[in-house]
Structure 1
């Protein structure tokens, strides 16, 4: 089964994305903060949630 069809795996993928974006923002904030709109804005929103 794909991670997108298994609910527990989907939650794990989302949690890992949030944690990864938060870590990247802590190390290199300019990389995440310059993309606040569009598809890459999801990375910025994930980092804000993780904080």
Structure 2
């Protein structure tokens, strides 16, 4: 089943995108900063910003998702 139609999978994809974009922005800030006003690439910059500002909540969500995966 596609991740778009399964809510649990959709949450995993969004959480992984947040974590990935935050990591890329931490390692190479200029890579995402140059595209922050450009459509699709701007969405990645926004995800990185959310990941940076809400990092305790994102990390708790990652831990909960990992526990949920181990129990399934």
Instruction: State if a TM-score over 0.5 links the two structures.
Output: yes
User: Which of the two has greater helix per residue?
Assistant: 2
**Distance in 2 (alpha carbons) for counterparts of 1:36 and 1:28:** 14
| CA root-mean-square deviation | 0.5
1:20 is displaced (CA, Å) by: 0.1
Match of 1:48 in 2: 49
Instruction: Report the count of equivalent residues.
Output: 51
1:39 is displaced (CA, Å) by: 1.2
Matches within 5 A, 1:1-51: 1-37=1-37, 38-51=39-52
Scaled by the length of structure 2, the TM-score of the pair is 0.69
Regions of 4+ moved over 6 Å: none
Gaps of 5+ in 1: none
Scaled by the length of structure 1, the TM-score of the pair is 0.95
Gaps of 5+ in 2: 53-72
Greater C-alpha Rg = 2
